[in-house]
């Protein structure tokens, strides 16, 4: 049993076109693979350890839920959600790193100028 990618109605396994809407049949909406996407799972684990625990856990849950999907469309949808949350976790970590570097640079610049003015006022 597979489902139409256009109208989501059930189609015969050997159908070339959807009987309901006439869209071309795609094997992507047939039987789910039933395997775990290891790339997405590893990315989620890396995000949990090094980036954002919350977003990484959400990505891991979606990756594992995709394994138990009843249709290929559902599996692909859950993997798409896992990828989105992995991107969010990685982007959040990158943003935090950039923000930290900016704060350190600003502190160094302002503390240097304050220190310079203090030294100039002592020498005067």
- Mean pLDDT across 39-58: 88
Q: Across the strands, what pairs with 111?
A: none
- What Cα–Cα distance (Å) separates residue 72 from each residue in 91, 99, 102? 28, 40, 45
3-state SS class at 26: coil
Tens digits of per-residue pLDDT, 2-29? Answer: 677 667 777 777 777 777 887 776 544 5
Q: Which of 55, 78, 83 is nearest to 68 (CA)?
A: 78
Q: How far apart are CA 104 and CA 95, in angstroms?
A: 14
Chain mean pLDDT for the chain: 81
Where in the chain are the domains?
Answer: 1-30, 31-123
Tens digits of per-residue pLDDT, 68-113? Answer: 888 778 888 888 999 999 999 999 999 999 999 998 888 877 776 6
């Amino acid at each position: 049993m597979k489902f139409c990618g256009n109208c989501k109605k059930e189609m015969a396994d050997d159908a070339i076109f959807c009987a309901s809407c006439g869209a071309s049949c795609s094997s992507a909406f047939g039987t789910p693979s039933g395997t775990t996407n290891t790339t997405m799972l590893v990315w989620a684990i890396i995000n949990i350890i090094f980036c954002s625990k919350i977003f990484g856990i959400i990505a891991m849950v979606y990756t594992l839920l995709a394994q138990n999907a009843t249709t290929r469309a559902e599996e692909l949808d859950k993997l798409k959600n896992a990828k989105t949350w992995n991107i969010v976790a990685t982007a959040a970590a990158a943003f935090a790193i950039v923000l930290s570097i900016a704060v350190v640079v600003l502190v160094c610049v302002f503390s240097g100028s304050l220190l310079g003015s203090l030294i100039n006022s002592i020498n005067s």
